[in-house]
């Protein structure tokens, strides 16, 4: 069904069916090839707009899709439209999904909406200025429908007033349906590529976690004790490590004692509700000392039996004006039980894990220990 404002439909011009069919088949072949190849989704959207403009003779063409919040339609692909027009429509004159614009109406109704003259259309008043600057007076919006779902709209614009024929609308609807299938295929391929990258990262992380687990297990089997574990952790995270007990007496130290604050400072900064996730602790600006550390609690049941400390960065003694969030910002654990959701890698039973950072880039490894097993990440 065609919803048209401002005139009656005219008769379609004479066509050469054979030549037109070949042109369409070739254009659809290019579109399908791009959608199933290693082509970015944005490029496919631009190709859809360009194909519609060439096949149907529009002066301008655009592909509109909902934003992430599904409150607005944004121009995601276009042909002939100026970058300034696209930027203004997407920011200064946003097309709200609950507005009276042809695109919003086509999106909600699932039918084509045509306007013969936008200057005479009350519901188009908000975009009349940018339409005049871009240089069009007629517009048609056709929904992109795939699997009974409206993905967006395919819009065509003519510089002069134009009465859209039923034949022209049918051709544009045919192209829009094909384009919707192409966009769905391209979107699925994008998702599969992202998932594949995530799976490869998880595989590498699991491989590394097994290596770290073997090293920690080796320390335990050799009866290296807490000193051996602290030394191994220092090698793994590239930072000095201190392990103290519930009363903040030092149990093990891998590094120099001067690289850590004293027991009184650690006691003052310890939180009884702290968990296994490493948390930044440090002095406030203007304090007498300037320690910046990370601390992680080791629990047996509900009781904190030990804490593991390491400097928040690679500066001497953990004294730095850099934010401790530098470490946390680079820490990116990967999921082992979902597509792309960050979660903890779990190997055995564990108490905690730590991020590792360097000024030059991302963490090398993270791990934690509870005496017999570890959690590890890359």
For residues 38 and 166, the model is more confident at 166
Q: By the 8 A CB rule, do 333 and 366 touch?
A: yes
Interatomic CA distance for residues 49 and 141, integer angstroms: 12
DSSP lists the bridge partners of residue 145 as 150
Interatomic CA distance for residues 328 and 278, integer angstroms: 9
| Sign of the dihedral through C-alpha 266, 267, 268, 270 | positive
Q: How many CA atoms lie within 13 A of 93 on its CB side?
A: 16
Helix axes 41-56, 17-35, angle to 10 degrees: 170
pLDDT of residue 312: 86
Q: What is the DSSP letter of 88?
A: I
pLDDT of residue 369: 35
Q: What is the DSSP letter of 165?
A: P
Q: Picking from 102-111, 141-150, 180-189, which range would have the lowest pLDDT averaged per residue? A: 180-189
DSSP lists the bridge partners of residue 282 as 292
- Banded pLDDT at 139 (limits 50, 70, 90): very high
- Banded pLDDT at 6 (limits 50, 70, 90): low
Q: Which three-class secondary structure state does DSSP give residue 357? A: coil
- With 70 as the cut, is the pLDDT of residue 285 above it? yes
Output the six-digit token pair for 128. Answer: 């009349």
pLDDT of residue 7: 47
Stretch (H or E) spanning 242: strand 241-245
Q: Picking from 83-97, 203-217, 265-279, 299-313, which range would have the lowest pLDDT averaged per residue? A: 203-217
Interatomic CA distance for residues 74 and 91, integer angstroms: 9
Tell me which residue of 127, 144, 145 sits closest to 136, measured CA to CA: 127
Q: Exposed e or buried b for every residue in 342-351, given b needs 16+ CB within 10 A? A: eebbebeebb
Q: 135: alpha, beta or left, given left = phi > 0 and alpha = psi -120 to 50?
A: left
**70 alpha-carbon distance from chain centroid:** 16
How much is the mean pLDDT over the chain?
76
Kindly report, residue by residue over 312-355, the tens digit of the pLDDT: 874 444 444 333 333 333 232 222 333 333 333 222 223 333 33
Q: Hey, how many other C-beta atoms are within 10 angstroms of the C-beta on 22? A: 11
């Amino acid at each position: 069904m065609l919803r048209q404002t401002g005139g009656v439909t005219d008769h379609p011009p004479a066509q050469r069916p054979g030549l037109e069919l070949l042109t369409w088949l070739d254009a659809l072949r290019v579109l399908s090839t791009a959608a199933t190849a290693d082509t970015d989704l944005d490029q496919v959207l631009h190709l859809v707009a360009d194909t519609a403009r060439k096949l149907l003779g529009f002066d301008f063409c655009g592909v509109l899709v909902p934003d992430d919040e599904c409150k607005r339609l944004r121009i995601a692909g276009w042909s002939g439209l100026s970058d300034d027009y696209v930027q203004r429509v997407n920011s200064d004159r946003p097309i709200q999904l609950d507005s009276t614009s042809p695109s919003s109406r086509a999106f909600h109704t699932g039918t084509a909406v045509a306007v013969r003259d936008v200057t005479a259309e009350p519901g188009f008043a908000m975009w009349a200025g940018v339409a005049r600057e871009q240089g069009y007076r007629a517009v048609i919006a056709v929904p992109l429908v795939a699997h009974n779902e409206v993905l967006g709209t395919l819009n065509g614009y003519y510089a002069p007033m134009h009465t859209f024929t039923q034949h022209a609308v049918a051709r544009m609807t045919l192209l829009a349906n094909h384009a919707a299938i192409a966009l769905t295929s391209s979107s699925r391929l994008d998702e599969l590529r992202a998932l594949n990258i995530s799976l490869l990262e998880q595989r590498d992380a699991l491989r590394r976690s097994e290596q770290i687990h073997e090293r920690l297990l080796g320390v335990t089997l050799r009866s290296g004790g807490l000193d051996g574990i602290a030394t191994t952790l220092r090698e793994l995270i590239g930072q000095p490590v201190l392990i103290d007990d519930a009363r903040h007496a030092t149990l093990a130290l891998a590094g120099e004692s001067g690289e850590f604050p004293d027991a009184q400072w650690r006691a003052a900064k310890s939180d009884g509700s702290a968990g296994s996730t490493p948390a930044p602790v440090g002095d406030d600006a203007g304090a007498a000392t300037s320690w910046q550390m990370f601390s992680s609690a080791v629990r047996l049941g509900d009781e904190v039996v030990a804490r593991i400390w390491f400097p928040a960065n690679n500066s001497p003694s953990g004294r730095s004006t850099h934010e401790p969030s530098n470490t946390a910002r680079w820490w990116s654990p990967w999921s082992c039980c979902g597509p792309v959701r960050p979660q903890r890698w779990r190997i055995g039973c564990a108490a905690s894990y730590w991020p590792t950072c360097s000024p030059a880039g991302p963490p090398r490894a993270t791990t934690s220990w509870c005496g017999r097993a570890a959690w590890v990440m890359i």
